[in-house]
A and B are shown apart, each in its own frame.
Chain A
Amino acid sequence: MDIFLQQVLNGLTLGGIYSLVALGLTLVYGILHVPNFAHGAFYMVGAFVALKLMTGWEVNYWIAMIGSAGVVAVIGALSERLVFRPLGNHTGLHPMIAAIGLLLFLEAGAQALWGADFLRMPTPFSGIVEIAGVTAPVQRLMIIAGAFTLMAVLQLFLTRTVAGSTIVAMAQSRDGASLVGIDANRVAMLTFGISGALAAVAATLYAPINLVYPAMGHLVITKAFVIIILGGMGSVPGAIVGGLIIGFAESFGAYYISTDYKDIMSFALLVVILSLRPQGLFTNGAR
């Protein structure tokens, strides 16, 4: 039973991180209809910026998280302005290839600036608490609390604020949104900024129990794609539910089946889902 609860805890940790990354991806897809292959690089840059703020400038963990969210939000907004906006209304191959160009650039940039080494991020939360026979590292509990708080904040932002509503409106109908005077370009930049900030926070939360290196975004982004296909491209609740499904599948799969193949499992799940239901589990087409 303890082992089962332990896996639930692991599933929630992974699921929370995956959901945050997938949320950013799904928001951008909802607005621009572009699968942003560079999102994993945003995640990686977020981890590096937070790490460098903490080790180089000796800032506190939370301030480093806010700082890295800010930096990556700016990178996100700039990439919308400089890379995706000039491509106009293309929805086919070209924005995907541009996203790959951005990914290559950011990864090479990170490697040039910070090196290819595997780095470890320090964290103020090194303790371990024991609840009902389950040993839980505080950092894991922080991840769960942090991720789900941020999801709630995002949900409030999207439903309760004007800026959030413009994003939802654009995702529902671009023409309708511009008809009521919403500046599509501004909203697209805002969405990319939020998407980047979410990735940076996810990376800063997860990095202390993982490693920081230039290619760290690869598996995470591929999983995030699995998640948004699972949850329906462009759907916010879909990204959260999908993230949890993959998180649990992975933690239980790793324990009950094989640690070696845990990464393959989520992709195999996607292959099966796409073969049976190409439009995802929870939607009848994109929002």
Chain B
Amino acid sequence: MMKLLEGKLGWGLLLLAGLLFPWMAGNDYHLTVMSTAYIFAIATLGLNLITGYTGQFNLAHAGFMAVGAYTLGILTVDYEVSFWLAFVLAGVVTVLIGLPLGFVSLRLRGHYFSIFTLCVGTIMFLVIEKWESLTHGTVGIMGIPAPTAIGPLTFDTPRSLYYLVFFFLVVGVWFMRRIVDSLMGRTFMAIRNGDDLAEALGVNLMRNKLIAFSLSVLYAGLAGALYAGFVRFLGPDLAGAEHAFDMTMYMIIGGLGTVLGPLLGALMVPWATQYLQFLQEFRFLIFGPVLIFLVIFVPNGIVGTWVAWRARQASAADVAQHKAKLQQTKTDAGQEESTRA
């Protein structure tokens, strides 16, 4: 299974599976579950960029998702802005709010960054709940319009919405892979592995951390806007810590610092939740210990562990090959000697 997912072939198979899913799914409900999973997968990709690749554990990610969602909701419902313009503006607003926070976060390392973002997330939740004239408070925003048609493409059935969300996921994954494979991505990883060292090597910490932070919240904001257009109802809960923890879980289960890992995590966990439906709000009775178990025994997640295992296998195979060669030359030499004798 994992072997199939490696390399270009793997991504191709995933793409194919995603395209064919509407024919495999039994009903519209499955399509809805999968589409929601895709939306959270997009946001998780962004979280993984700042946490898995740049090494800063951001607990305000759900807050940024809510900023994107609320921007779209408020613009389309209260100001009657067209959907796609509001969608773009949602991304812009999220980054604009993220940037000053990114500046503050530059000065903070490790735990301080996490605690800072925990507080920022709480502030976002409280502001959404209390600023009733803007956000409609606890009542929430209702009647958000569905994504409007683009040319001949309409988004009024679960299947067309599924493909819309899937399209954004594919673009998100493609773009993320471009980022992490680029020099900039390597720079992020250098910062993660040791920011003093990276700085000594001439990395502009300020610029790179800001770029990583902005890209990360952009993913969250656009995912939030998609969420608003898909669910068409918003409440303050979207900014709650629970969603931030959910995304953390996807990331850890799949594997920090890989593109495939968080993606698989975000696609798997919602299905697990479906099967654990009888547990309802008690699902964390199982997921909490699973999270603890994973960080203790499988700290690299599914994909990370797989990559490490492959690397070990490859090096073991190398060693074996080497040994065999050595043996061969030895026996060759022995034969030569015996023939000589």
User: A residues touching B (Cβ–Cβ < 8 Å)?
Assistant: 33, 35, 37, 83, 86-87, 91-98, 100-109, 111-112, 116, 218-219, 222, 225-226, 229, 233, 260-261, 263-264, 267-268, 270-271, 274-275, 278
Complex Cα–Cα for A222 and B283 (A):
24
Question: 3 tightest CB-CB pairs across the interface, nearest first?
Answer: A105-B288, A101-B291, A108-B284
List residues 115-129 of chain B with CB under 8 A from any CB of chain A: 115-116, 118-120, 122-123, 126-127
Say whether, besides A87-B295, A275-B107, A222 and B127 are in contact (CB < 8 Å).
no
Q: Are A267 and B119 in contact (CB under 8 A)?
A: yes
Q: Are A105 and B289 in contact (CB under 8 A)?
A: yes
Say whether, besides A97-B248, A97-B291, A102-B288, A274 and B281 are in contact (CB < 8 Å).
no
Which residues from chain A contact B107 at a C-beta distance below 8 Å?
Answer: 274-275, 278
Q: Is B71 an interface residue (CB 8 A)?
A: no
Complex Cα–Cα for A94 and B295 (A):
6
Complex Cα–Cα for A100 and B292 (A):
8
List residues 284-317 of chain B with CB under 8 A from any CB of chain A: 284-285, 287-292, 295-296, 299
**Overall SS of chain B's interface:** helix
Q: Are A93 and B256 in contact (CB under 8 A)?
A: yes
**Overall SS of chain A's interface:** helix
List residues 231-260 of chain B with CB under 8 A from any CB of chain A: 241, 245, 248, 252, 256
User: B residues touching A (Cβ–Cβ < 8 Å)?
Assistant: 51, 55, 57, 104, 107-108, 110-112, 114-116, 118-120, 122-123, 126-127, 130, 241, 245, 248, 252, 256, 281-285, 287-292, 295-296, 299
Q: Which of A97, A108, A225, A278 contacts B282 (CB 8 A)?
A: A108
Q: Are A222 and B248 in contact (CB under 8 A)?
A: no
Q: Are B119 and A98 in contact (CB under 8 A)?
A: no
Complex Cα–Cα for A218 and B282 (A):
18
Chain A's nearest CB lies how many Å from the CB of B324? 38
Q: Which of A112, A222, A233 contacts B285 (CB 8 A)?
A: A112
Complex Cα–Cα for A222 and B123 (A):
10
Q: Are A103 and B119 in contact (CB under 8 A)?
A: no
Q: Are B287 and A271 in contact (CB under 8 A)?
A: no
> What would 10 A/B residue contacts be, using CB atoms closer than 8 Å?
A87-B296, A93-B55, A98-B295, A100-B245, A105-B285, A108-B281, A112-B285, A271-B116, A271-B123, A278-B108
Which residues from chain A contact B120 at a C-beta distance below 8 Å?
Answer: 267, 271
Complex Cα–Cα for A114 and B289 (A):
20
